[in-house]
């Protein structure tokens, strides 16, 4: 990473906008950052580190504490850095958390931290625009991060390959922290070197090999447990016992199969005989059922005859229905026309009454028209006053406006004088309060540092106590799991023994069933002997096949539970070992932090007290910043109030003159208009009332004429309707007389005695259809049943009903023998199948286990070597890093030997550390004057600076030489040269010049006067009462 330009605004001691163009220093410059103490030299390095990671180089101040006290209220604190990395250009901008004035109104608002990152497509040249250094030809840029601070930091870490702590150790040597690079232990140096040289692949290889070896071991053990569990679930102890039992059961299976087939044939013969008997019995039952159904049908003959007579009368009535319907229709129409005539006469009388009332109203219209003319004349007079009233209204409004303006200016003058006095008092009070807060904030930095360390101790202590608790719980679970495992094993053994006894009883029961079928002189189906001196008897209850299968399933379930319990126990044991290892690590970390031996609760109490103090100080800091902003705002407000007061006084004089002129115009306008219409709106109200009266009269006259026309038309329409209905009534009376005569003649010629008899005989079409269907169904079913009875009697002639009970008893006996022989054969077949399947699975497990063991011989050996479990117990990554560290120390020793005039060179400590502490990457120094090797901690301040400088330069050379993803193009050194004698100083500067010649940018912060003479390019930081500023000095 190489900086191109840096812009700081209101940052640290720089109250304004300061821009540094590193390109103006030349290619790969060696430059000096010079200035008095406290002027802001280190702040330049803080700005670079803050722009990249949001942290300062010393990590002692937060970004929110970097705001310049002398900055103006409207100036936003921010840092912008343009840098080059591997031929690509980037720009990053960061704004820390701060307070800023509100955009509208008074007071301040909270500015949240933000960051933006761009990738630029441009050359390395730069230019300054509005005080900000930008790259030329930077029209094309790609926004990578828009605002989120964490995303910007993560992108920078991915680009540079370094986090903030690693950046500070390898690219910046902060003031007073040179020994940190030398005194880092193996674990810290391993983290830095693995990031710089990208050796994570070796660590990943270690973990993958370790995981793979563990996975194979678990698979081998699981295969072994599966094989043994399979054998035990089958009821045998070994493969040999399994093969032996298979050989013994094969002959028995052949004999059982022959016996099963013989009983199967007997059972089929008995079933066929029973089936024929059932068919014959069903034929006799069908004959009886058909005879009963035929007799029951004949019992309904009388009801069918009555339905025949009802159908005949209904058909006759249906023929007379048209004349009857016509007569009823005529009667209904006569009744309707009578009602309509009565209603028409009523409507005619009502319309006549309404017409007479409308005539009376029409006669009154001439009087209404005279009133309308009078109102129109009055409206014309009022409208002539309109222009005068408008002039009076405008004069009144102007007078009120001028009077209101005079009153408003007087109130404003008084308010401004009061505000000016209050502003002066607030200014004096805030200045005193700001001075008091500045004195209280001197202890904020120390308390913040103590709080950070205490937070780390609490975090580790809480984690330590949590792990201790988990260890105790895990130990209890281990003990419980061990007891449970023993119980499951005992239960499994007991269940297996009970199942074996159940199988023995089942085999004895099957043998007893076979013995029941033995006959004297007949061969035994098992042994073939014709003599049966002592046949087997079953004195106990024989278990069923279902009970036997259920017992075997219970054995398999108990065995699976035992296997699961063993696997769970091994997993818990590994968790317990991991917790023990983590406890040791946490104890070591607490020792390193010199944490007090108290509980986390007591530490949290201390933390709360310290947090309250820090929170109070932060609140006071924000209050001080707020007071400073408010003071600046009060100064501006005071000047504005004085200017506004003068303006108000001038406006007040002008307003008095305008008020007098408006009063004169008002008096002239009032004299030209009658007094009753001078009030605002009085004339408009009078005109509106007259217009309303005119509209009401016009509307009333129009409505009277429209109603008379409407009622007249209704009366004529009702008269015509009544006349038409009366003519229709005469026609319907003639039609009714003809229909009555016709109906009486038809009824007299029919078989019905009266109209009532005719109506009783009437049926609708559905009822007639139902009667016809019932009679037809009766005739058809009677013929069918009679024919069926005759046919069944012929087919069963000379047949007798069978004895079904005899056939059923024969079938039950044959079925019992068949079931017994089937059960015996199935038991033998299942056992042989179970043993054969088990034999195949055992062979498969043995083959898979052999493959896994061969694979483990290779992977396990590689895992042990890579994870440091052989020889010197050095892991693969630690070995690679030790070789790289040796390369770094060769380059560092070459420079240190030169700067120390041949006295010192750096070595890697190869002795193993005690216990489990990481080792192999610590440093030692060889003293040529004494011939001894000692710790780097024994070096003096100046010697430590030279050693740290040599280490940083050597690390830069080796990283560049390996051409990894990390590029160390820049090195900043903050102080340290003052501890060197003149000769050592000259050697150190010569070393830096050599580094510059190799293509590095080197920046040095120092007060040493000799460095100004040897470094012509420098950044002078100039400080005065108004703050600091930067000046570039170049030849």
Radius of gyration of the chain (CA): 59
Residue 960 has pLDDT above 90, yes or no: no
Helix, strand, coil % (nearest 5) of the chain? 70, 10, 20
Q: 693 in a domain, yes or no?
A: yes
Cα–Cα nearest to 63, from 10, 116, 6: 10
- At residue 919, the pLDDT reads 65
How far is Cα 505 from Cα 522, in angstroms, rounded to an integer?
A: 27
| Residues 582 and 688 grouped into a single domain | no
Q: Which two tokens stand for residue 383?
A: 């409208």
Contacts of residues 955-961 at CB distance under 8 Å and 24 or more positions apart, as own/partner, are 955/170, 955/196, 955/888, 955/892, 956/170, 956/995, 956/1000, 957/888, 957/891, 957/998, 958/884, 958/887, 958/888, 958/891, 959/196, 959/197, 961/887
Residue 6 has pLDDT above 90, yes or no: yes
CB 63 within 8 A of CB 95: no
| Residues 497 and 588 grouped into a single domain | yes
Q: 661 in a domain, yes or no?
A: no
User: Lowest mean pLDDT: which of 178-182, 217-221, 412-416, 821-825?
Assistant: 178-182
Q: Which two tokens stand for residue 317?
A: 């009535």
Q: 91 in a domain, yes or no?
A: yes
How far is Cα 997 from Cα 969, in angstroms, rounded to an integer?
A: 12
How far is Cα 124 from Cα 135, in angstroms, rounded to an integer?
A: 7
Q: 153 in a domain, yes or no?
A: yes
Cα–Cα nearest to 1034, from 1025, 1024, 1020: 1020
pTM (predicted TM-score): 0.40
The phi, psi pair for 389, rounded to 5°, reads: -65, -35
Q: What is the pLDDT of residues 164-216, one digit of tens each?
A: 777 776 677 655 555 666 777 777 777 767 766 667 777 788 788 888 888 88
How far is Cα 791 from Cα 973, in angstroms, rounded to an integer?
A: 127
| Residues 167 and 18 grouped into a single domain | yes
Q: What is the pLDDT of residues 505-551, one digit of tens each?
A: 776 776 666 666 666 666 665 555 666 666 666 556 677 777 777 88
| Residues 160 and 27 grouped into a single domain | yes
Cα–Cα nearest to 8, from 59, 58, 42: 42
Q: 924 in a domain, yes or no?
A: no
Q: 993 in a domain, yes or no?
A: yes
If you average pLDDT over every residue of the chain, what do you get? 79
Mean pLDDT of 269-275: 83
CB 66 within 8 A of CB 76: no
- At residue 116, the pLDDT reads 93
Q: Which residue has the higher pLDDT, 9 or 848?
A: 9
Residue that is last in its domain, among 601, 628, 658: 601
Residue 1008, number of CB atoms within 10 A of its CB = 20
> Which CA distances in Å does 260 have to 503, 524, 834?
21, 14, 21
Q: What is the pLDDT of residues 214-248, one digit of tens each?
A: 888 888 888 787 777 777 777 777 878 878 888 88
Q: 504 in a domain, yes or no?
A: yes
Q: Which two tokens stand for residue 818?
A: 């068949």
Phi and psi based region of residue 920 (left: phi greater than 0; alpha: psi -120 to 50; beta: remaining): left
- At residue 115, the pLDDT reads 93
Q: What is the pLDDT of residues 838-870, one digit of tens each?
A: 888 888 878 887 888 888 888 888 887 777 777
CB 136 within 8 A of CB 126: yes
Most confidently predicted of 8-17, 127-136, 203-212, 342-351 = 8-17
Write out the residue range of the structural domain in which residue 25 sits: 1-171+972-1035
Q: What is the pLDDT of residues 963-995, one digit of tens each?
A: 454 566 787 777 666 666 677 677 777 777 776
Bridging pattern class, strands 78-85 and 88-95: antiparallel
| Residues 594 and 706 grouped into a single domain | no
- At residue 81, the pLDDT reads 94
| Residues 693 and 597 grouped into a single domain | no
Q: What is the pLDDT of residues 720-740, one digit of tens each?
A: 888 888 788 888 878 878 888
Mean pLDDT of 809-837: 84
DSSP of 611-622, one letter per residue? HHHHHHHHHHHH
Residue 103 has pLDDT above 60, yes or no: yes
Residue 406 has pLDDT above 80, yes or no: no
Residue 127 has pLDDT above 50, yes or no: no
Number of domain units in the chain: 3
| Residues 138 and 38 grouped into a single domain | yes
CB 855 within 8 A of CB 173: no
- At residue 90, the pLDDT reads 92
Q: What is residue 868's three-state secondary structure?
A: coil
| Residues 47 and 155 grouped into a single domain | yes
Per-residue pLDDT band for 133 (boundaries 50, 70, 90) equals very low
| Residues 52 and 153 grouped into a single domain | yes
Per-residue pLDDT band for 132 (boundaries 50, 70, 90) equals very low
Residue 131 has pLDDT above 50, yes or no: no
CB 964 within 8 A of CB 196: yes
Residue that is last in its domain, among 708, 742, 761: 761
| Residues 374 and 461 grouped into a single domain | no
CB 4 within 8 A of CB 992: no
The phi, psi pair for 300, rounded to 5°, reads: -95, 15
- At residue 283, the pLDDT reads 81
Q: What is the pLDDT of residues 331-365, one digit of tens each?
A: 888 888 888 888 888 888 888 888 788 888 878 77
Q: Which residue has the higher pLDDT, 642 or 1020?
A: 1020
CB 871 within 8 A of CB 887: no
Q: In the beta sheet, which residues pair with residue 1031?
A: 1020
Give the total residue count for the chain.
1035
Residue 677 has pLDDT above 80, yes or no: no
Residue 835 has pLDDT above 50, yes or no: yes
List the beta strands (DSSP E) in 529-640. none
| Residues 363 and 464 grouped into a single domain | no
Mean pLDDT of 316-323: 78
CB 43 within 8 A of CB 15: no
Q: 410 in a domain, yes or no?
A: no
The phi, psi pair for 72, rounded to 5°, reads: -70, 160
Q: HSE of 1026 in the Cβ direction (CA atoms, 13 Å)? A: 3
Q: What is the pLDDT of residues 604-635, one digit of tens each?
A: 888 888 788 878 887 877 787 787 788 778 77
**Domain holding 350: CATH number?**
1.10.287.620
- At residue 136, the pLDDT reads 47
Mean pLDDT of 318-338: 81
- At residue 79, the pLDDT reads 94
| Residues 365 and 504 grouped into a single domain | no
% the chain with pLDDT above 90: 3
The phi, psi pair for 66, rounded to 5°, reads: -95, 5
Residue that is last in its domain, among 712, 736, 761: 761
């Amino acid at each position: 990473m190489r900086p191109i330009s840096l812009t700081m605004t209101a940052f640290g001691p720089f109250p304004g906008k300061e821009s540094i163009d590193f390109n103006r220093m030349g290619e790969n410059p060696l430059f000096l950052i010079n200035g008095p103490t406290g002027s802001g030299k280190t702040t330049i390095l803080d700005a670079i580190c803050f722009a990249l990671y949001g942290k300062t180089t010393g990590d002692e101040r937060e970004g929110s504490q970097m705001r310049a006290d002398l900055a103006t209220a409207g100036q936003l604190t921010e840092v912008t850095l343009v840098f080059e990395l591997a031929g690509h250009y980037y720009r990053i901008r960061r704004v820390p958390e701060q307070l800023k004035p509100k955009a509208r109104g008074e007071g301040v608002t909270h500015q949240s931290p933000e960051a933006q990152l761009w990738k630029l497509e441009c050359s390395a040249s730069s230019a300054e625009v509005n005080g900000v250094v930008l790259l030329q030809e930077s029209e094309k840029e790609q926004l990578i991060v828009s605002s989120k601070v964490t995303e910007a930091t993560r992108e920078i870490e991915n680009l540079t390959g370094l986090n903030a702590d690693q950046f500070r150790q390898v690219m910046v040597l902060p003031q007073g922290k040179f020994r940190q690079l030398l005194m880092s232990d193996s674990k810290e140096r391993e983290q830095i070197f693995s990031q710089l040289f990208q050796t994570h692949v070796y660590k990943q290889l270690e973990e993958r090999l370790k995981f793979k070896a563990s996975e194979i071991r678990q698979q081998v053990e699981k295969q072994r447990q599966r094989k043994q569990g399979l054998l035990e679930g089958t009821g045998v102890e070994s493969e040999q016992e399994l093969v032996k039992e298979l050989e013994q059961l094969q002959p028995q299976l052949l004999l059982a199969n022959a016996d099963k087939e013989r009983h199967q044939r007997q059972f089929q013969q008995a079933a066929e005989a029973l089936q024929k008997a059932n068919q014959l019995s069903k034929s006799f039952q069908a004959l009886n059922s058909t005879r009963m159904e035929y007799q029951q049908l004949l019992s309904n003959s009388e009801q069918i005859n009555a339905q025949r007579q009802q159908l005949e009368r209904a058909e006759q009535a249906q023929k007379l229905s048209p004349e009857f319907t016509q007569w009823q229709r005529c009667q209904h129409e006569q009744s309707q026309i009578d009602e309509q005539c009565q209603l028409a006469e009523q409507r005619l009388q009502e319309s006549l009454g309404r017409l007479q009332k409308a005539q009376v109203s029409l006669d009154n219209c001439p009087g209404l028209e005279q009133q309308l003319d009078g109102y129109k004349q009055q409206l014309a007079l009022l409208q002539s006053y309109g222009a005068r009233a408008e002039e009076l209204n405008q004069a009144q409004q102007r007078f009120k406006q001028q009077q209101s303006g005079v009153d408003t200016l007087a109130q404003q003058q008084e308010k401004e004088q009061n505000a000016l006095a209050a502003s002066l008092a607030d200014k004096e009070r805030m200045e005193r309060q700001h001075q008091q807060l500045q004195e209280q904030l001197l202890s904020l930095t120390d308390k913040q540092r103590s709080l950070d360390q205490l937070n780390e101790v609490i975090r580790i202590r809480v984690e330590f106590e949590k792990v201790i608790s988990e260890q105790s719980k895990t130990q209890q679970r281990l003990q419980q799991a061990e007891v449970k495992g023993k119980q499951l094993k005992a239960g499994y053994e007991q269940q297996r023994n009970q199942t074996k006894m159940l199988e023995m009883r089942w085999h004895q029961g099957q043998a007893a069933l076979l013995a029941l079928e033995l006959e004297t002189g007949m061969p035994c189906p098992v042994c073939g002997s014709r003599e049966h001196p002592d046949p087997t008897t079953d004195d106990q209850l024989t278990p069923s096949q279902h009970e036997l299968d259920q017992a075997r399933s219970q054995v398999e379930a108990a065995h699976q539970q035992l296997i699961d319990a063993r696997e769970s126990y091994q997993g818990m044991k590994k968790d317990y070992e991991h917790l023990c290892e983590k406890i040791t690590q946490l104890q070591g970390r607490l020792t390193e932090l010199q944490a007090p031996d108290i509980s986390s609760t007591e530490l949290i109490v201390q933390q709360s007290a310290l947090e309250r103090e820090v929170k109070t100080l932060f609140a006071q800091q924000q209050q001080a910043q707020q007071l400073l902003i408010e003071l600046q705002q009060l100064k501006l407000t005071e000047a504005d109030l004085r200017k506004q007061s003068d303006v108000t006084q001038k406006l007040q004089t002008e307003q008095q003159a305008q008020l007098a002129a408006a009063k004169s115009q008002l008096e002239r306008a009032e004299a030209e208009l009658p007094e009753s219409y001078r009030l605002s709106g009085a004339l408009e109200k009078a005109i509106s009332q007259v217009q309303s009266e005119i509209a009401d009269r016009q509307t009333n006259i129009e409505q009277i004429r429209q109603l008379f026309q409407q009622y007249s038309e209704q009366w004529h329409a009702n008269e015509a309707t009544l006349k038409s209905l009366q003519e229709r009534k005469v026609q319907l009376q003639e039609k009714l007389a003809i229909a009555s005569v016709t109906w009486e003649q038809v009824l007299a010629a029919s078989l019905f005695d009266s109209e009532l008899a005719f109506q009783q005989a009437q049926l609708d079409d559905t009822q007639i259809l139902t009667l016809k269907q019932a009679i037809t169904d009766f005739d058809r079913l009677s013929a069918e049943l009679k024919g069926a009875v005759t046919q069944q009697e012929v087919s069963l002639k000379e047949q007798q009903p069978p004895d079904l009970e005899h056939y059923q008893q024969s079938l039950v006996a044959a079925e019992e023998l068949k079931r017994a022989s089937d059960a015996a054969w199935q038991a033998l077949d299942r056992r042989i199948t179970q043993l054969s399947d088990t034999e195949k699975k055992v062979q498969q497990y043995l083959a898979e286990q052999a493959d896994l063991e061969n694979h483990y011989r290779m992977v396990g050996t590689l895992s042990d070597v890579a994870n440091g479990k052989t020889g010197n117990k050095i892991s693969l990554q630690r070995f690679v890093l030790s070789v790289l560290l040796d390369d770094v120390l060769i380059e560092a020793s070459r420079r240190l030997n030169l700067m120390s005039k041949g006295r010192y060179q750096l070595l890697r400590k190869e002795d193993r550390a005690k216990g489990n502490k990481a080792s192999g990457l610590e440093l030692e120094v060889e003293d040529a004057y004494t011939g001894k090797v000692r710790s780097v901690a024994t070096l003096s301040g100046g010697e430590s600076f030279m050693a740290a400088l040599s280490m940083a330069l050597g690390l830069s050379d080796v990283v560049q030489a390996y051409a990894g993803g990390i590029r160390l193009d820049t090195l900043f050194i903050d102080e340290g040269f003052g501890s060197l004698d003149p000769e050592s100083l000259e050697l150190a500067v010569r070393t830096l010049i050599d580094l510059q010649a190799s293509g590095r940018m080197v920046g040095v912060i120092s007060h040493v006067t000799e460095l100004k003479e040897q470094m012509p390019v420098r950044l002078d930081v100039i400080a005065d009462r108004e703050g600091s500023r930067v000046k570039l000095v170049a030849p």
